Amino acid sequence: MNRHPTARRRLQMIAGAAALIALPALHLGVRAQAARRPTPAQTEGPFYPVALPADSDADLLVNQSPQGTLRYAQGQPAWVEGTLTDVDGRALAGAAVEIWQCDHQGRYHHPGDGDRADRAFQGFGRMVVDGEGRWRFRTIRPVAYGGRAPHIHVKVKLGTRELLTTQLYVEGAPGNARDFVWGRLSAEDRRAVTAPFAAGSDGQLGAKFALVVAA
**pLDDT > 70: what percent of the chain?**
84
Gap between the Cα atoms of 63 and 178, Å rounded: 33
**Which amino acid would we find at residue 148?**
R
Mean local confidence (pLDDT), 40-68: 94
End-to-end Cα distance, the chain: 63
Question: Looking at the predicted structure, is the pLDDT value of residue 20 above 80?
Answer: no
Phi, psi for 187 (deg, rounded to 5): -60, -40
Residue 207 lies in a domain: yes
Residue 52 has pLDDT above 80, yes or no: yes
Q: Are 29 and 70 members of one domain?
A: no
Instruction: For residues 78 and 27, state if they share a domain.
Output: no
Residues 99, 3, single domain; the answer is: no
At residue 24, the pLDDT reads 41
Provide DSSP, 99-152.
EE---TTS--SSGGGTT-S-TT---EEEEE--TT-EEEEEEE----BTTBPSEE
Whether residue 29 is found in the same domain as residue 69? no
Residues 30 and 66 in one domain: no
pTM: 0.83
Does residue 49 belong to any structural domain of this protein? no
Determine the pLDDT at residue 67.
81
Give tens-digit pLDDT for 131-180: 999 999 999 999 999 999 999 999 999 999 999 999 999 999 999 999 99
Residue 189's identity, in one-letter code, is D
Residue 118 has pLDDT above 60, yes or no: yes
Which pLDDT value is given to residue 22?
40
Q: What is the pLDDT of residues 31-51, one digit of tens each?
A: 334 579 999 999 999 999 999
- In the sheet that 151-158 helps form, which strands lie side by side, from edge to edge? 124-128, 96-100, 151-158, 161-170, 194-195
Is residue 199 very low, low, confident or very high in pLDDT (cuts 50, 70, 90)?
very high
| Distant-in-sequence, close-in-space partners of 13: CB < 8 Å, separation ≥ 6 | none
pLDDT digit string (tens) for 72-94? 999 999 999 999 999 999 999 89
**From CA 57, how far away is CA 116, in angstroms rounded?**
21
Q: Are residues 77 and 133 in the same domain?
A: yes
| pLDDT confidence tier of residue 202, bands split at 50, 70 and 90 | confident
Counting the structural domains of the chain, the total is: 2
- Has residue 66 got a pLDDT over 60? yes
Element (H, E) at 182: none
Is residue 144 situated within a structural domain?
A: yes
53 within domain boundaries: no
Return the pLDDT at 29: 36
Domain around 78: 62-213
Residue 44 lies in a domain: no
For residue 106, with 0-12 CB atoms within 10 Å meaning exposed, 13-18 middle and 19 or more buried, which class applies? middle
Predicted pLDDT of residue 42: 98
Has residue 1 been placed in a domain? yes
Read off the CATH number of the domain in which 103 is found: 2.60.130.10
C-alpha distances (whole Å) from 6 to each of 17, 18, 19, 175 are: 17, 19, 20, 72
Cα-based angle 29, 26, 18 (whole degrees, multiple of 5) = 150
Q: Provide the residue count of the chain.
A: 215
Domain co-membership, 110 together with 21? no
